[in-house]
Amino acid sequence: MRVLMNTGRSIRQGSYVERKNSQAYYDEASACRMHPVDMMDLGVEPGEHVRATGPAGSVVLHVLPADGVQRGEVFVTLGPYANHLVDAETRGTGMPDFKSTSIDLEPTGEDIATVAMLMEACGGVQYRGRDLE
């Protein structure tokens, strides 16, 4: 299913923004909020996983129903999961298309990567030290 991805702040994302390696941040930043009817069309229940593929790559998310999101759109909080999909092209403005990236969704049984795993996929090295959370 092709949808338009919107990104932005949520109160939970903001609350855990200084604990990006915590379970709470992982749960919030990897949530894909979509209209319940679109969920039905896609054949997914709340909490099930989808593979999202955008112009920059692909990432696994879990879905949550959200009546306030219009059909054909999804909302993912700003963060490393959404940014795994957003292209870095800015069309001469300096600003990527954070609120208007077309992505494809398909149901999957795959696990959701942690923030550290996503950064490793970008070429980084996971820090596993004592102050991780």
Partner 1 sequence: MKVVDVVCPFCGCLCDDLVVEVCDEKVVKVENGCTLASEKFLGDHRLQSPILREGFGWREIGYEEAISVAADILLAADLPLLYGWSGTHGEAQSVGVHLAEVLGGVIDNTSTVCHGPSILAIQEVGHPGCTLGQVKNRADVVVYWGANAIEAHPRHMSRYTTFTQGFFVKDAHLARTVIVVDTRRTETAEIADEFVQVEAGYDYEILSALRAIVRGREDVISGAVGGVAKTQLIRVAEICKRAKFGAIFFGLGLTMSAGKHKNIRNAIELVEELNRHTKWTISPMRGHWNVYGSNEVFTWISGYPFAVDFSRGIAFYNPGETTSVDILRRGECDACLVVGSDPGAHLPRACAAHLAKIPTIQLDPHVNATTHLATLQIPVAVSGIDAEGTAYRMDGVPIRVQKLVETKFPDDTEVLSAIYRRVREVKGQ
Q: Which residues in this chain contact partner 1 in the complex, by CB under 8 A?
A: 4, 6-11, 14-16, 18-21, 56-57, 66-70, 73, 75, 78-80, 83-100, 115-116, 118-120, 122-127, 129-133
User: Cα 26 from chain centroid?
Assistant: 10
57 vs 65 by CB, closer to partner 1:
57
Give how far Cα 9 sits from Cα of 63, 78, 91, Å. Answer: 17, 6, 24
Joined together, the tokens standing for residue 41 give 């069309």
79 vs 112 by CB, closer to partner 1:
79
109 vs 123 by CB, closer to partner 1:
123
Least separation in angstroms between CB 45 and partner 1: 22
Nearest to 109 by CA among 47, 55, 65: 47
